[in-house]
Amino acid sequence: MSIRVTDSCIGCGVCMNKCPFGAIKMENGKPIFLDNCTLCGSCVEACPVDAIEIEKKVVNDINLADYKNVWVFGEQRDGEISSVVYELVGEGRKLADKLNEDLCVVLYGNNLKKKAEELIKYGVHKVYLLENSKLETYNDEIYTTVVTGMIEKYKPSIILLGATTIGRSLGPRVAARIETGLTADCTGLDIDEEKGVLLQTRPAFGGNIMATIVCENHRPQMATVRPGVMKSALIKSDYKGEIITEDFDLDKLESKTRVIEIVKEMQDRVKIEEAEIIVAGGRGVGSAEKFDIIKKLADLLGGAVGATRAAVDNGWISHDHQVGQTGKTVSPKIYIACGISGAVQHLVGMKPSDIIIAINKDPQASIFNYATYGLVGDLHEIIPILINQIAEGKDFMEAAASAQS
């Protein structure tokens, strides 16, 4: 067993309380680790006297210094680059700058030259472009082979992928083939300046706790990031970069998977991930009919409608609108939470918002701990008044404008 207690243990029992698995028992004033211990390390960190040690045998034969640069997987569908790619470019550039390395995007598909040129303007040093009709539609086996081939050739130190259906399928396959670590659904990334390793933070246990994860001895360090968590990169005129055209022999590559048809189902898809303003309703709204007031306010402000799982489960609004751990992650300029208590699972989906406004009749609701502005009161009283005031203001502005012309 590779977890042990040293003589400095004072038998305080903090480790037992901190164990997320209930896998520690105190016996004769010393912790005993039960069979369901997963060696997660929570106790090591919690111990006030550093008396718990987890021994891990480092098994790898790669030279870490050979690996350099931050890569972003340039996911595309139908020749359009997914929005999460721009978010990863924004974040990836920060990481690359901290490491003093290059930010590169790997882009696969067909006729993507223009897109590659565009990407440079967002702060990408290098775009590795590989064009082939076999790469037009995503295929797990073919993409895995191509990505691992390029990793072996260029040896990147970090690879970021969107936590999309593609990224969450490709990432683990690539990581398994090259035997490296992959951290799913990260909400925060940073560099440990001392060791130069990637710090990957993500929610765990239904969002109740956050964990920071590292992949110290293997390369590349891989992470998927949910769309909407990071801020999109901005275009800057002084960015310079190059496009490197790759040439990879795909003729012999075969796949046992065939995509026969792609069916688009949602015509007017709710793109709350891209909205600047979101008005969201929770259980406090009360009913499907009463949800109209939320929609009305959103319309008036030119925003989108969000919802908690409670509202979605009650059938007041469709799942596309759900924000949170099992819904979407959003980061609008303004998030107005109406009748929402502020459960962690909801918060993880909207905390990156610039300004959070909460309307709730319970002054103790935990949403008020996260809000920038709080309105304590009944949403059914406040919102209609708000709508009137905004509408009046608009009329006034319009009247003023027409009086001028």
Partner 1 sequence: MMNIVVCIKQVPNTTEVKIDKKTNTLVRSGVESIINPYDMHAIEEGLRIREELGGKVTVISMGPPQVADSLKEAISLGVDDIILLSDRAFAGADSLATSYALAKGIESIGNVDLIICGKQAIDGDTAQVGPGLAEHLSLPHTTYVKEVSNVNDKNIKVKRTIEDGYEVVEMDLPALITVVKEINETRFPSIRGILRSREIEVPVLTADNLEVDKNKIGLNGSPTQVVSVFTPQVEAQTEIFNGEPAEQAHKLVEVLRQQKII
Ligand X SMILES: Cc1cc2nc3c(=O)[nH]c(=O)nc-3n(C[C@H](O)[C@H](O)[C@H](O)COP(=O)(O)OP(=O)(O)OC[C@H]3O[C@@H](n4cnc5c(N)ncnc54)[C@H](O)[C@@H]3O)c2cc1C
Pick out residues in 302-321 that bind ligand X (CB under 6 A): 308-311
Q: Residue 232 gets which letter from DSSP?
A: P
CA distances from 215 to 54, 55, 196 (A): 16, 16, 11
Comparison of 255 and 326: residue with beta carbon closer to ligand X: 326
Q: Residue 135 gets which letter from DSSP?
A: G
Cα separation of 324 and 308, whole Å? 7
CA distances from 123 to 166, 225, 322 (A): 24, 19, 32
Q: To the nearest whole angstrom, how small is the minimum distance from the Cβ of residue 304 to ligand X?
A: 15
CB atoms within 10 A of CB 316: 22
| Residues making up the chain, counted from first to last | 405
Q: Binds 270, which of partner 1, ligand X, none (CB < 5 to 8 A, cut-off by type)?
A: none
Residues 267-286 that bind ligand X (CB under 6 A): 282-284
Report if residue 297 touches ligand X, rule: CB under 6 A.
Answer: no
The answer to whether 74 and 143 have CB atoms below 8 angstroms apart is no
Report if residue 226 touches ligand X, rule: CB under 6 A.
Answer: no
Q: Which of 212, 245, 287, 318 binds partner 1 (CB under 8 A)?
A: 212
Site string for partner 1, 182-201 (x = CB under 8 A): xxxx-------------x--
Report if residue 217 touches partner 1, rule: CB under 8 A.
Answer: yes
Three-state DSSP class for 356? strand
Site string for partner 1, 92-131 (x = CB under 8 A): ----------------------------------------
Q: Which of 329, 341, 358, 368 binds ligand X (CB under 6 A)?
A: 341
Report if residue 160 touches ligand X, rule: CB under 6 A.
Answer: no
Report if residue 333 touches partner 1, rule: CB under 8 A.
Answer: yes
The answer to whether 165 and 75 have CB atoms below 8 angstroms apart is no
Report if residue 380 touches ligand X, rule: CB under 6 A.
Answer: yes
If binding means CB under 6 A, how many residues of this protein chain bind ligand X? Answer: 29
Comparison of 378 and 395: residue with beta carbon closer to ligand X: 378
Residues 30-69 that bind partner 1 (CB under 8 A): 35-42, 45, 54, 56-57, 59-60
Q: Binds 390, which of partner 1, ligand X, none (CB < 5 to 8 A, cut-off by type)?
A: partner 1
Beta bridge partners of 401: none
Comparison of 22 and 29: residue with beta carbon closer to partner 1: 22
Q: Which of 103, 365, 371, 386 binds ligand X (CB under 6 A)?
A: 365
Cα separation of 159 and 70, whole Å? 6
Three-state DSSP class for 296? helix
Report if residue 326 touches ligand X, rule: CB under 6 A.
Answer: yes
Q: For the stretch 284-309, what's the b/e string if a residue is b when 16 or more beta carbons lie within 10 angstroms of its beta carbon?
A: bbbeeebbebbeebbeebebbbbbbb
> Could you tell me which residues come within 8 angstroms of residue 112 by beta carbon, excluding any fewer than 6 positions away?
76, 79, 129, 131
For residue 104, what are its two tokens?
A: 């590169």
Residues forming the site for ligand X (CB under 6 A): 206, 282-284, 308-311, 322-327, 339-341, 343, 345-346, 349, 359-362, 365, 378-380
